[in-house]
Structure 1
């Protein structure tokens, strides 16, 4: 989702380019009057000829054809003023926030959001979904008569899946309302002090961003929470919210707010006669999202779906049909099939370079360290996100990347040792304290050169500025998760690279990605490896040998194992990470189980990838061994008792 890049890197005034249809006259932009008079459905079908804005000098000139191809089709030919937004808000978007023109999704969604219609938006990451709903909400709130006061309570509610996304949306809302001081944004989320949140709710929050669990808690227990004037409910990253298990919480929230289709009227007296508008935004559409849309949306305008999917999704609970029941049931079945298989093909930015590196299990960590060192030696100022499968793995690798010391010379003297990576390293996962999570999220976003080691908590919705490389150290599993991970880079036409680590036994995963329209090329790691000197010698240029036997890899592996063994705490981190990694590896679902099989792995080599010289005992295995020993002992004891009993007889 396009969120923060434009906030930090403003664009210069746009430059018009020749239109693709040479026979047609220059369409220009539709007037705001024309959009206002048109119906909401018709408003999303006007001409959206793309243009290429000129990037600021700070970012440099746009690179060649790949860059232009990536930006082509992303932006609309109209301006924010053409969409009917208030002139003050348009000027603020352009002058202070750096938004020169809306994206195509924004140009389609903003008029619908301003019309009061329920809306379902399907859009890929980096297309500006956040502004698509926040801008019209701010526009309508600042025009409200009488002026919105804090004592009026909450007018707009935005539900997001994670705490980090909650902070990100709150930051954008703060900037949007800068010129409208009477509109107060705020947030409530897990991990924060409930008493302080209650105090803020008591004072009044106009636009409230929340995670589902904490919001439901305040709806049930905070009497001072005023939502009688609630007009908008927004489900941002709805698919991610449901994947995290908040489906029941969302249903309870809708019932509390009196906004669930078919719900009893006992809660509707809390909201008076305010016209309610629900907006649902999602990167993918599946059965769970479809169910949420059914219970929360009424005759929604659909954006981001092709004609076939719009027609198949149009049959909802509230519709008039001329078909027989059997014919309608058949169409409904087809609709469900389309919704379930809608994510089969993924469209990724053309300027995104996707590669994979084939690595044996025991050398994974040394290869990761080598690649990171190579990246930061080529360009000091850059950002990299490394995805791991478990929280324990994040903690261990964060320690390694931030503290590993080594000696580039032949003598391993303590005075000669230096940090392997000189950049800052941050970590992010769900088991961290809220304060630490907030510091990592804000710290990595503000740094010019840093590494973020994270679980999939950072794979959805978050927009870190200037992230150029995404490294998937642990395989994501589902193809949709792969797409969401690489979506953290190559945003809004910027260049980006993604690298996927695969073991030789996992190469069939590439075929699974190809079935979803994702193709990768092999990363030339051997060239990178041979460019590194070994213990002060010249770069290694002999005949190609196996990766595990390369002098650089062997030297780095010895340093790594020595570093892990030196401290008991680091060794414990490595053991915990090893056990959690093996458990996560067995958790792949469906057809992927045939690709990611623990039986194909050498667990001793897996331990080596965590800097361990010996394989730790797995909890599951040791428990099974103990059970077998007990059964054997019980079998031995039973015959002895029988012999004793027979002798007495």
Structure 2
């Protein structure tokens, strides 16, 4: 009996490839892309999105972008979508999915794999908070943020300990590239440029180019040992609008990019310059004469709160001085009891810089509690800006109002914003889209109101803004706004007049209050001159009635008188000193008496008109 294991030919083992080709199952049940699981994301990640973050279905832009970024060989991506459509998760989820799916167990020491660049600190903080929420299902993935506003030593220590995903502003990131030795860029697989249009507007083109060149120089992605990650750097450019400078940024940063938007999910070339407001946004405009702008703003806020008691309202103004004035005006003590100037000055000094206060002024016209008023603009320090956003976001009961400049119009996902009020018209068309994009987010309804002056500014609505909206903007007259807000025993004209006079008396009560109003007036005029040349036919500073404009800041003096008043202390003092030196001790009537004496002398000698 022969043995089974003798006289057998030798076999030569074929080399086993560690990177076998993976195929999708051909007979698996079909899963549609209306769920996160259907997009092909990691099971643990999809469960976390649904159970902890309460995201049941992906948005249209997420359904278009996620599959392209989690494919076997992802390409660069150009994502264009309306504000509030979920662009942040569209690039965050694929990055975290890939890190979770890697066969190698990653830690913070594994390296920096993704960099997200945002134009403003507020947007960077928001992206970082989204990352923190998502990675709670995989604690070994560590996000980090460096945006300035804190000691550079603290940021360097954070980078030295190790982060896997880094959120940063361009300037701060470039600074760390040059001065932080512990920052290892060799493993970077993803670079995201969020709000590309804003990056260009703020002049970061040269900085972005420098960052991308440095990454290209330091990259070792093609020889890196981490399995399951792309073997090249993938760049994602996000923008709500598509302009020439954004196109140029795309040409510099992207390579063979796939263009993704909601209408055509992913194409190579079909790009368009057209963009629009969300279909579910209700757009209104109020035609208000210049003198009535301030009381009409108060009436608009009152009407919104009367309609929705827990309304969250964002009011956009043209400049930080205007924000400061309206914040102080709406949060002053009361309509009648102002106290002495000394008491007011000491109270302001004791309070210091506050950015969130209740409005007792608006409460007089409301049956509800005092609405909270917050302010936000670029001149505030970073801690104040951060605390203001946190305070406004956490306000869940009762009405709240955020007075802000366009620093709050880009990228911020402030929850439950019900109304946007553009008290000052936008400086560019895309600014309007970003402003109204704070409401009507992720399929929810939203309302927006813009103030315009009678006449040419009405043409701006018909010719420029109306084509951006699915439904034509609804016109409101100031009389409708004021009569609805200021009801009572007196007629609405009298109540509105009293509201205006209360502000004027408040300004006269304190030099600091008056200075706020003057600064706001001056800055508003300067800002008005910065409208695009193509829109000057609607916004011409030469046609502004500056006396009426002063009135809408509570000022009783004309601008000419304001200018003289501002220079009186210095100019009059110099003129007085010179005059005193010239006249000596003869007194102010000396010159008059001298001329009269000369005239009498000529008359006594019969001098004619030629002598």
Match of 2:474 in 1: 521
Structure 1 residue 532 displacement after superposition: 5.0
More moved, 156-165 vs 273-282: 273-282
**Aligned mates of 1:582, 1:383 — CA distance in 2:** 29
More moved, 81-90 vs 368-377: 368-377
**Aligned mates of 1:503, 1:114 — CA distance in 2:** 50
Match of 1:53 in 2: none
Match of 1:86 in 2: 42
Structure 1: 4+ residue segments shifted above 3 A: 34-38, 266-274, 305-313, 514-519, 531-534, 615-623
Contact 2:146 2:173 in 1 (8 A): yes
Match of 1:377 in 2: 306
**Aligned mates of 1:590, 1:309 — CA distance in 2:** 35
1:169 counterpart (127, 130, 146): 127
Change (3 A) 1:593 1:122: same
**Aligned mates of 1:170, 1:401 — CA distance in 2:** 33
Structure 1 residue 464 displacement after superposition: 1.1
5 Å-filtered alignment, 1:141-290, equals 141-258=99-216, 267-268=218-219, 274-290=231-247
Structure 1 residue 561 displacement after superposition: 0.6
2:391 counterpart (443, 460, 467): 443
**Aligned mates of 1:616, 1:279 — CA distance in 2:** 50
Q: Note the alpha carbon deviations across 1:325-347, whole angstroms, 9 max, x for none.
A: xxxxxxxxxxxxx75xx13xx33
Match of 1:429 in 2: 377
Match of 1:133 in 2: 91
Change (3 A) 1:289 1:531: closer
Q: Note the alpha carbon deviations across 1:534-582, whole angstroms, 9 max, x for none.
A: 7xx52538xxxxxxxx222211110011112212112111111111110
Q: Note the alpha carbon deviations across 1:354-391, whole angstroms, 9 max, x for none.
A: 11111111111111012212322343211000001111
2:428 counterpart (478, 492, 501): 478
Instruction: Tell me the SS of whatever aligns to 2:557.
Output: coil
Contact 1:170 1:187 in 2 (8 A): yes
Q: How many residues align structurally?
A: 505
2:293 counterpart (356, 364, 369): 364
Match of 1:70 in 2: none
2:261 counterpart (304, 314, 326): 304
Contact 2:418 2:446 in 1 (8 A): yes
**Aligned mates of 2:333, 2:288 — CA distance in 1:** 21
Q: Note the alpha carbon deviations across 1:462-514, whole angstroms, 9 max, x for none.
A: 11111111000000032221111111111122221100000113212113325
**Aligned mates of 1:595, 1:620 — CA distance in 2:** 31
2:330 counterpart (391, 397, 401): 401
Larger Rg, first or second structure (1 or 2): 2
- Unaligned stretches of 5+ in structure 1? 1-33, 39-46, 49-75, 259-265, 314-337, 409-413, 542-549, 627-649
Change (3 A) 1:287 1:309: farther
Q: Note the alpha carbon deviations across 1:7-40, whole angstroms, 9 max, x for none.
A: xxxxxxxxxxxxxxxxxxxxxxxxxxx99579xx
**Aligned mates of 1:205, 1:356 — CA distance in 2:** 47
Change (3 A) 1:469 1:515: closer
**Aligned mates of 1:308, 1:466 — CA distance in 2:** 28
Change (3 A) 1:142 1:160: same
**Aligned mates of 1:276, 1:256 — CA distance in 2:** 13
Match of 1:498 in 2: 448
**Aligned mates of 1:433, 1:91 — CA distance in 2:** 39
**Aligned mates of 1:528, 1:595 — CA distance in 2:** 23
Instruction: Tell me the SS of whatever aligns to 2:318.
Output: coil
Root mean square deviation of aligned Cα: 3.0
**Aligned mates of 1:423, 1:366 — CA distance in 2:** 17
Change (3 A) 1:476 1:532: closer
Contact 1:119 1:303 in 2 (8 A): yes
Check if 1:108 corresponds to 2:64. Answer: yes
Match of 1:487 in 2: 437
Structure 1 residue 191 displacement after superposition: 1.9
With the length of structure 2 as denominator, give the TM-score of the two structures. 0.77
Contact 2:111 2:187 in 1 (8 A): yes
Change (3 A) 1:305 1:108: closer
**Aligned mates of 2:485, 2:54 — CA distance in 1:** 42
Instruction: Tell me the SS of whatever aligns to 2:192.
Output: strand
1:462 counterpart (377, 398, 412): 412
**Aligned mates of 2:542, 2:151 — CA distance in 1:** 46
Match of 1:508 in 2: 459
Instruction: Tell me the SS of whatever aligns to 1:178.
Output: helix
Q: Note the alpha carbon deviations across 1:20-71, whole angstroms, 9 max, x for none.
A: xxxxxxxxxxxxxx99579xxxxxxxx99xxxxxxxxxxxxxxxxxxxxxxx
Structure 1 residue 205 displacement after superposition: 1.1
Contact 1:229 1:271 in 2 (8 A): no
**Aligned mates of 1:512, 1:620 — CA distance in 2:** 40
Change (3 A) 1:307 1:424: closer
**Aligned mates of 2:79, 2:23 — CA distance in 1:** 19
Check if 1:97 corresponds to 2:53. Answer: yes
**Aligned mates of 1:157, 1:164 — CA distance in 2:** 17
Structure 1 residue 620 displacement after superposition: 13
**Aligned mates of 1:143, 1:133 — CA distance in 2:** 16
Q: Note the alpha carbon deviations across 1:291-311, whole angstroms, 9 max, x for none.
A: 111121111121117669956
Instruction: Tell me the SS of whatever aligns to 1:522.
Output: strand
Change (3 A) 1:293 1:560: same
Instruction: Tell me the SS of whatever aligns to 1:526.
Output: helix
Structure 1 residue 143 displacement after superposition: 2.1
More moved, 510-519 vs 590-599: 510-519
